[in-house]
Every structure is written in C-alpha cells, then in structure tokens.
Structure 1
Amino acid sequence: MPQSYFNDCFDNIIKPHFHFMTTEDVSRLYAYRSIEKKWAGNRRPCGMSSKTHLRPKMRSGIMFQKKMCKTNAENRKKQTVPHTGGSKPNSRRRAEMFAETGRRPGRAQLYLATHKKQDGSYVNEEAKEICEKIQLATSQSTMDESEISPNDAVGKVLGKEHSGRVRCFGLGATPSTHFKQTKPRVGGIRIPSNDAGCSSFGCQDKYDKLLNTLKAYMIMKEGSIPEQFAGIFGSPPITPSDADSS
C-alpha cells in the first residue's frame, strides 16, 4: 500500500473514529502493520491476474454455499412441525406483541403465534395438537407465564430443553442464560439448588460442603437447626450432639 494513500486513510478514516491510548506515531505504525499483514495474506501472486487469483476462492465459496443450502433443505424435510415465523427475529416479534397488547408475551404466546397461518388455522395436525396442549397448560397454570422458565406451558408440553437452545428464542439462546435459577436463601446467603447447574460431580461436591458449613454455623449460633430450614438440608432438625457424632 502506498504510504501516501495509507496516511490519507489514517487521517480521514481511522483517526476520527478511534481513540488511541498511545502516541500517534505508534498508533500509525500499528495500523499500517496490521493492514499490511492482512493484505499480504490475500494479495495475488506476481504475474497472476485478479480473476485467476480470485476464481478458486469464489468457486470454494460457491460450493460451500451449495452444500449449506442442501443441508438446510434436508433439515427442513425432517421438521415435522414447521413454523410460520419467517425471518423475523422473535425479539422483534415480542416487542410488537408487547406494543399491541401492553403485556409481555411468554413462550406460550410466541409458540402459538408462530404456528398458525394468516387465516388462523394451524400449520398441520401435529402443531394443532401441541398448541391445544399449550393453551390448556396456560389456562391451568398458577405461575406468571410471561416469565421465561423451564416449567412454563411450553416446557411442560414439549419437555426439557436442549443445552444449546431455548424454544421460541432463536439462535444463541441457552437455558443457562435465559432461565432464572431458583436459589433459596439462608441468612442472606444464596444456595444453588441441585438442578441449577450442579449436575457435575465437582459442583455437587461444593454444594454439599456449603450445606455442611451452614449446618455447623446454625448449630453454633442457634444450638440446633430450626425446623423451617430442616427441609433444605433434607433431614430432621440437628442438635449439637448430632453434629458431634457425625
């Protein structure tokens, strides 16, 4: 890259948009070398035309795209319950439903909205059966269905989520990031429940040690485990003599 062209790009494009925590000379040299490195990895060999240089990359990109299209088509054939959501992200759909009704839609409302056609009919009989079960579970629910939970109507009807997805939330959503973990409190300390990410041996071991520490602390302060906390420890109230013998 000609030095004069780089200086013009740095002064008019890079410099106005970035704040460098060093001198301008060092920043200019860093930017130049970074561009030089990227350019070296993609420039065409000497004597080779642009078309000859780019043709293999274009062919590789086209073949990859065709392979992806074929894979996606095969996956769509395996989908027994298609949705009518189209390309609209569910985050935008939730915002539109909230603006229209004034209430936050839960997963049940999103599932029902994306499995019906414009005339109100279901996409197929299987989708109709699932939607009717979700509607029944919603009507019988005692929890706030606008809260995203593994125990909401969708979770009860369709079962446990895969570790890498959350139904009705699109790409990137996972149970660990979207489901609120239930953590009981004892003396202001939050205790992770057994089903809140403690499936591994290491986490379960830490959980057991924390419970034992809390037991000892309560016995030291109160003389025994109060009845209201006995259920947390999965045992009857513990007295100091019990703790000494364990």
Structure 2
Amino acid sequence: MNELEQLRRAMRATEGPYHDDLDLTAIMRDGRRLRRRRRFVGAGATALVTVLAAGGVGLGVRWARPPAPDRPPARVATVPTGASPATAPPGPAPTRSEPHRGPLGKAVETGIRYGVDQRVYYVVAVDLPEVPGVRIGLMAGRRTPAGDLTDDIVVNDVRGSDRRPGFHEIGYDDATPSAGRPPVPTFGYFVGPASRIVGTVDGRQVDARLAQWSTDPELVIFWFDPVDLAPGVRLDGIVAQDRTGRPL
C-alpha cells in the first residue's frame, strides 16, 4: 500500500468526526499514527521469524542444513575369528658354506705341527644355492696321528666359478689363537699351471709352499710358512708364475 492509499483510508476514517469540514491537521496526525503501527507490526513479524529461524523449531518451520560433501564410507579391518593377523614372510636365510666332513681327494701335508697334530689343507664340498658355480672350498684343518681331521677355517668363492683361472679367495686367520685352536697360516688356491707363487708384504717378497690337488692338478694349493709370514698379516700383493717365470 502506498502513501496515497493510506491517506485516503485515513480520510474515510475521519468522516464521522469531521463530517462538517475537514481538519487536515487531524487527518495527517491519524495517518502518521497508522503508519507507525503498521511499521511496528512489520518489524515484530520480522523479529518473530528471526527467533523461529534461530530455534529451528515451532510452527511447522524447518530449516534444512546444506548437504555434507560426499565422503567414502569408513573401512574397518577385521580379522576372522580364530585367525591371526598376517605377518611378513621371513627373509632369506644368510648364505652359509657347510663343508663336507670328509675331504675331496687327499689332504695336503704341510709339515707344520702343533704337538702331535699336523696342519693340513684339503678341498671340501660347499653348498651355495645362490652361486651354483661354486661347489668347492679349501679347508685348513689338523690331522691327528690316528688320521682324524679337525676343521679350522674354510674359504670359498662367493661369486662366479670355483674353477675359473687365477687366484681365488685367500684365507687369513683373524681369530685370537687359543689352546683349542692354534693359528692358521695364510692359504688359498690358484687354478692354472703355477710353479711359483710369491706374496709381497711391507716391500719384501715371500714364497708360498705349493701342492697340486690330487683330484685336479690344475688346482694348486698354496700356504705361507708362519716363520716367513705371521698368520693374519695381510698381503700387499700376490703373483703366480709358470715354469719359465712368466706371470700367469
């Protein structure tokens, strides 16, 4: 309703009291009162709606919350009754070389004695599933007068082939000698026609003792006399020569 319509209605409401002549002052005053009452009623209605919105209940008014964003349902891991949680499979066992109790071929005598026992070297079988080309190792052991053998240290290749030409793993005694096991002289083997093997340590040359393996003469077993090279001392270099002195 606009202001003109409000004025007309106010004029009609005053026709009784002011029928003889129009009192414009009274008409305007009554119009202003009417407008104030209507504004008050409109403000009160707005306030009522605001209260209902704040409460969210009453008079059938319901306010819906905005939908929550889509989220995947939570997953709960369960273990069946009587079953145990899965565990990681065990890792591969460490590689080990387990020598055969008996030597392959004949044991090589060194003449080095510990009381009545003698230091001997002999080839043994080893089992390295990860390295199928390595089937043998060289054992440093002791033999009693009755012929019984005691294993001390075994060395073997850990890659490639145990029959490739040249030097293979060299055995050094890193253990502290004890009453149960005497020190082991440095030893190893060479595949090829070696007639001389010379080691170098601290600028001096040391000749090794040689013996061919009884099963394969191409495999030459060598060791250093502990008088010439103390057990455990590392070589600075080692070379092999054939019968003519040519390096192999």
For the aligned pair, the TM-score class normalised by the smaller chain equals under 0.3
Q: Which protein shows a greater Rg?
A: 2
Using structure 2 for the length normalisation, give the TM-score.
Answer: 0.19
Using structure 1 for the length normalisation, give the TM-score.
Answer: 0.19
- The structure that is helix-richer by fraction is 1
- The structure that is strand-richer by fraction is 2
Structure number with greater CO (CA < 8 Å, separation at least 6) is: 2
